[in-house]
Amino acid sequence: MISNTTQTLDPQVLTQAVDWLLKLQTEAANPATQAAFEHWQSSHPQHAEAWSRLTQIEHTFGQVQRKALAKQVLTRMDHASRRHALKKLGTLGLILPSAWLGYRALPLTRWQAEYQTAVGEQKHLHLGDGTHLVLNTDSAVDIQYREQRQIVLHQGEVWLETGHQDKRKLVVITPHGELVPLGTRFNVKLTAERTILAVTEGEVRIQLDNGQSSVVQAGQQRAFNRHGLEQTRRAEQHVGYWQQGMLLAQEMPLETLLKELARYRHGVIRCHPDLRQMVVSGAFPLNDTDAALDLLQKTLPVRVLIPSRYWIMVEPANTAG
């Protein structure tokens, strides 16, 4: 990994570090040179830091398996395009590291596992074949990797990013049918009546027991049950964002928003009939639904009544009592 430290180093120190590296790479080992290098390295914390960054760069290349393949890929790339992109976008963009933290690495083959999440909990699973799976609140899956890779969704919602790697077929199974992804990212949400598939990248094929099948493209969503497929629709924008612990609502009916929030807590949230179609936009925390409800109350003409922790009512603000 490349260091993400923000400490700015003196350009002169960086140049010195590079010169040392080139010297050590090209000159025959020599105790005097070695001693001089060690002296330089230990004489200032910035020297040590610059050297450590340089070592990390060497490591990035050193660890590459299949260097010939990597070279072919990089040669194929259009390296000028980043500069073009920058030009197209205006001034320089800052590239921040993605926050992929807290994943669990799991062994690759021949295992079966059952994973569950409690209400309000989310779980990241990083499978050995490169498949990344996030379980949403109150969900359950079985993972069985045998002659084919099977992920069985029993309850709730899962977001998947498939590895393109393992040659065995990957299938996601729900009580309503089977999904065969073709190198992709997608979200599967299971309710009592139907399964809702939303694809954000690549394609996924839906296969029903009755022989019906259909391919869903990136940007589309489609619901189905054992008896048939519903119309393909444009995927909702907030698909998969639950895994960031945040619900981003863009002109969402209040009733839909409350239904979403209710999935992350025990008990019932009731929406007053007059408010069902009220349009809401904003960012709401899913890991603290009390705070989310509080936000609603502060920014909309509504009142949140909490007779008990498990019984919440959202009413128009001007209602008496």
Partner 1 sequence: MALLNIRWQQLHDVYRQHHDWLQGWLRKKTGNSWDAADIAHDTFVRIMHHNKLAQLGTEPRALLVHIAKGLVIDHWRHQQVERAYQETLAQLPPGSWPSAEEQHLILESLRQIDRLLQTMPAQTRAIFLLAQLDGLTYQQIADQLDMSLITVKRHMRKAYLACLSL
Judged by CB under 8 A, the chain residues 275 through 314 that form the site for partner 1 are 281-285, 288, 291-292, 294-295, 298-299
Strands 213-217 and 195-207: antiparallel
Of the two residues 182 and 213, which places its CB atom closer to partner 1 in the complex? Answer: 182
Number of residues in contact with partner 1 under rule CB under 8 A: 82
Angle at 169 between CA 180 and CA 216, to 5 degrees: 15
- Which helix (H) or strand (E) element contains residue 132? strand 132-135
- State which H helix or E strand residue 155 sits in: strand 149-161
Q: Please state the closest distance from residue 4 (CB atom) to partner 1, in A.
A: 10
Q: Where would I find the H helices in 158-313?
A: 254-262, 289-299
**Rounded least distance, CB 288 to partner 1, Å:** 6
Question: In terms of CB distance, is 54 or 208 closer to partner 1?
Answer: 54
Question: Which CB sits closer to partner 1, 76 or 110?
Answer: 76
Cα gap 127→111, rounded to integer Å: 11
Give the residue with the Cβ less far from partner 1, 110 or 167.
167
Closest CA to 177 of 156, 201, 202, 196: 196
Helix, strand, or coil here: 186?
A: strand
- Residue 29 is a binding residue for partner 1 (CB under 8 A): no
- Exactly one of 12, 165, 210, 277 binds partner 1 (CB under 8 A); that residue is 165
Task: Report the residue from 39, 212, 213, 219 that binds partner 1 according to the rule CB under 8 A.
Answer: 219
CB under 8 A: which stretch of 49-57, 151-159, 208-216, 255-263 binds partner 1?
49-57
Rounded (5°) CA angle 286-237-229: 105
Shorter beta-carbon distance to partner 1: residue 11 or 321: 11
Closer to partner 1 by CB, 3 or 191: give it: 3
- Site residues (CB under 8 A) for partner 1, limited to 70-99: 70-79, 81-83, 85-86, 88-96, 99
Rounded to whole angstroms, the Cα distance separating 185 from 201 reads 5
Residue among 39, 164, 226, 259 that touches partner 1 (CB under 8 A): 164
Our CA angle for 85, 89, 95, nearest 5°, is: 70
Q: Which CB, 17 or 271, lies closer to partner 1? A: 17
Of residues 236-275, those binding partner 1 (CB under 8 A)? 237-238, 241, 244, 246, 248, 250
Which of 68, 110, 147, 192 is the binder for partner 1 (CB under 8 A)? Answer: 68
Helices 289-299, 254-262: inter-axial angle, 10-degree rounding? 160
- Let me know: does 152 contact 173? Beta carbons within 8 Å: yes
